[in-house]
């Protein structure tokens, strides 16, 4: 059974700092991996989608990498801003089931 783990569970950084969020999964036979953002009281917002054949995706200040063989993905956020404060979740799609990590709650202090 696929298990997805996110470390750290919570992170607080000063504005402007670069940061990395980690996601690991136990079964490397995945179809794709996604990073999402979740704001209080709202649904998920998709940030980046990495297909199993890809190694990274970039969007603005965000860069996500995927190392399928080691079961790891990282989400790099450059020059963090208070508006980046949210919970970030990674999810893997494997064999028709989607598994989510528990999320990392990020707080960026002004």
Binding site for another protein (CB under 8 A): 32, 34, 36, 38-46, 49, 51, 87, 89, 91, 93, 96-100, 103, 105
Is the Cβ of residue 18 or residue 51 nearer to another protein in the bound state? Answer: 51
Is the Cβ of residue 73 or residue 87 nearer to another protein in the bound state? Answer: 87
Here the tokens at position 36 are 């999402």
Is the Cβ of residue 66 or residue 91 nearer to another protein in the bound state? Answer: 91
In the chain the beta strands, taken as DSSP E runs, fall at 4-7, 10-14, 19-25, 32-38, 44-51, 56-59, 62-67, 72-77, 86-94, 97-100, 104-109
């Amino acid at each position: 059974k696929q298990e997805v783990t996110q470390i750290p569970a919570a992170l607080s950084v000063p504005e402007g700092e670069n940061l990395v969020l980690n996601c690991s999964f136990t079964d490397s036979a995945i179809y794709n991996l996604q990073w999402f953002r979740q704001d209080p009281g709202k649904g998920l917002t998709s940030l980046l989608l990495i297909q199993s054949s890809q190694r990274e995706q970039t969007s603005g200040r965000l860069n996500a990498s995927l190392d399928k063989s080691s079961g790891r993905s990282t989400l790099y956020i450059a020059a963090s801003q208070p508006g980046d404060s949210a919970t970030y979740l990674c999810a893997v799609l494997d064999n028709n089931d989607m598994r989510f990590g528990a999320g990392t709650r990020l707080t960026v202090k002004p």
